[in-house]
Amino acid sequence: MKIIKRTTGIIEVTQQDVILQTLQPVASLQLLSGDDGVQVTDVNGRVFDFYTRSIRQIQIDPAAPTEFTGDTQDLIQELEDSLFNQTPSGGGGADPVVEKGTTPPVDTNLLWFDTLQNELYYYDSAQSKWLSDQVYSIVFNDNANTGNGVFLRVGQTQTTTGEGYPIVERLNAFAFKYTNIRQLSDQSYLFYRDATAVITQDVTMSRTGLQTFTALTIQPAATLACQHLGTTNQDTVIELLYRKEYTDFILILSRIESTGSGNYTLEVNFIGSDTQFINSIEWNFEEPFSGPDPIDNPVNLAEQSTGVWTLDNQTFDEDPTGEAYDITLTFTGTNSYARQEFVTITV
C-alpha cells in the first residue's frame, strides 16, 4: 500500500495504483487498538485505518516515493509531520474542533467557521492560506464534435477570451475532471482568466479521468473560459475543481476619472466578507516628478454603498491625463482594523 500527498494537499491511499481512499489534509489521528496502526478521520468524516504492516511506500509530490520500514510510532510521526495537518480531537477523538467567528483563528490547527459567509475553512500550511473545506466546481462542455481550438460552453453560452463564467471570489483551483470519448493521445485544455492563460494541461487517453495540477489562485473580477486543443473529440465535458480562498476583501478597482472642467473623480471598489467593518479609506497620491499636483493629498473617500467609495471633484493644478500615480490606500475600521494596498494608476 502507498500513501501519496498530492500537490493539492489531498492524500490518496493506493494499492497497485488503484485508489482505495482520498482524505483531506486536515484530520484527527489516533492509534488503533493493539498499536497495529493509525486511524485517520478527516474533516469530511472519512475514516481510514492505516495498518503499519500494510504500508510499503510514502510519497509527497512532486518527490519520488520512499520505502517505509518503520513501526507504528514511526508511522504516526510520519503522518503528523509530513502528511496531515492534525486537528485537536473533541473528547471522542473523531470530531475536529471548530472555532466560529468573523476572522480566522490564530491557531491554524483549528477549523474555522466564518459566520459572515457561513463557510467552513481549514488552514493549508503548504500554501499558507485558509481554504474552504467544501470543493466547488465549474462545468464546461461541448456537444457533438469538438475541434482543435474550440472554446467550450458554460450551459448554452460559448466562452472565449474575455467572456465566460463570472469569477466573483478568489478560486484555489487544483484539478479538473474530463472526458476523452475517442481516447485520443493529443488532448489538452487551456483555461483563460479574461485574455490570460492560467492553466494548460494535457490529459491521458483514458475515456474519463481526473487531471491534478499544482494548486493556483485565480483572482476574481474577471471571466473564466476553457479551450480544447488537439484532434477533434466528441461530447466534451470538463469540470474544474476548486476551493474558495478566504480573504478579508479584494481590491478590484482603483481609478481617477475625468468629469470635465478640470475635475476628477476618485473611486475605489472592493469585494469581500469584511467590507462591513471598514469605516474609512484614505487615498494618498505619490505625485510623479513632472506631473500635476492635486489640491488635497491625502484625501478621505466617502462610502457610496458597500464596497464602493468615492471622492468627487478633486481639482489638479494642471491636466493629469496620461500621468502615472503611485497610490497608497489605507483602510481602517472597527476592532482596530487596518490594512494598506499599493497600486499604480494612469489617469
Q: Which residues does 299 contact at the CB level (< 8 Å), separation at least 6?
A: 266, 282, 283, 311, 314
Q: Higher confidence at residue 122 or residue 320?
A: 122
265 with 310: CB under 8 angstroms? yes
Examine residue 92 and state whether it is found in any structural domain, yes or no. Answer: no
H helices of the chain, in order, are 72-78
> According to the model, what pLDDT value does residue 272 have?
64
The answer on pLDDT for 240 being more than 90 is yes
H-type alpha helices, 63-178: 72-78
| Whether 258 and 339 share a structural domain | yes
Specify if 167 maps to a domain: yes
In a domain, 91, yes or no: no
Q: How many domains does the chain have?
A: 4
Query: What are the backbone dihedrals phi and psi of residue 202, each rounded to the nearest 5 degrees, phi first?
Result: -80, 155
The Cα–Cα gap between 104 and 118 comes to 13
If asked whether residues 268 and 341 sit together in one domain, one would say: yes
Question: Which CATH number is 289's domain given?
Answer: 2.60.40.10
Paired strand residues for 242: 136, 173
Do 264 and 330 share a structural domain?
yes
Assigned domain for 326 exists: yes
Give pLDDT, residue 91.
38
Rounded percentage of the chain residues whose pLDDT exceeds 70: 89
Q: Which of 28-37, 54-63, 150-159 has the highest mean pLDDT?
A: 150-159
Mean pLDDT within 100-129: 83
Task: Give the domain range for residue 118.
Answer: 98-132
The mean pLDDT value for 146-156 works out to 96
pLDDT at 245 over 80: yes
DSSP character string of 289-313:
TTS--BSSSSEE-EEEETTEEEEEE
Confidence label for 338 from pLDDT (cuts 50, 70 and 90): confident
The answer as to whether 93 is a domain residue is no
| CB-count burial class (<10 Å; 0-12, 13-18, 19+) for 342 | exposed
What pTM, to 2 d.p., does this model score? 0.61
- The pLDDT of residue 274 is 56
Strands 57-60 and 2-5: parallel
Is 186 within a domain? Answer: yes
Can you tell me whether residue 322 is helix, strand or coil? coil
* 233 and 256 housed in the same domain: no
* Residue 233 or 275, more confident: 233
86: left (phi over 0), alpha (psi -120 to 50) or beta: beta
Q: State the DSSP code for 83.
A: I
How deeply is 198 buried, as exposed, middle or buried, from its count of CB atoms within 10 A (0-12, 13-18, 19+)?
middle
Residue 189 CA, chain-centre distance (Å), reads 19
Asked whether residue 189 falls in the same domain as residue 164, the answer is yes
Based on the domain organization, do 75 and 171 belong to the same domain?
no
Predicted confidence at residue 96, as pLDDT, reads 57
Tell me the CATH number at 156. 2.60.120
In this structure, are 80 and 10 located in the same domain? yes
Does 236 share its domain with 285? no
Reported as a single tens digit per residue, the pLDDT across 280-296 is 888 787 777 677 776 66
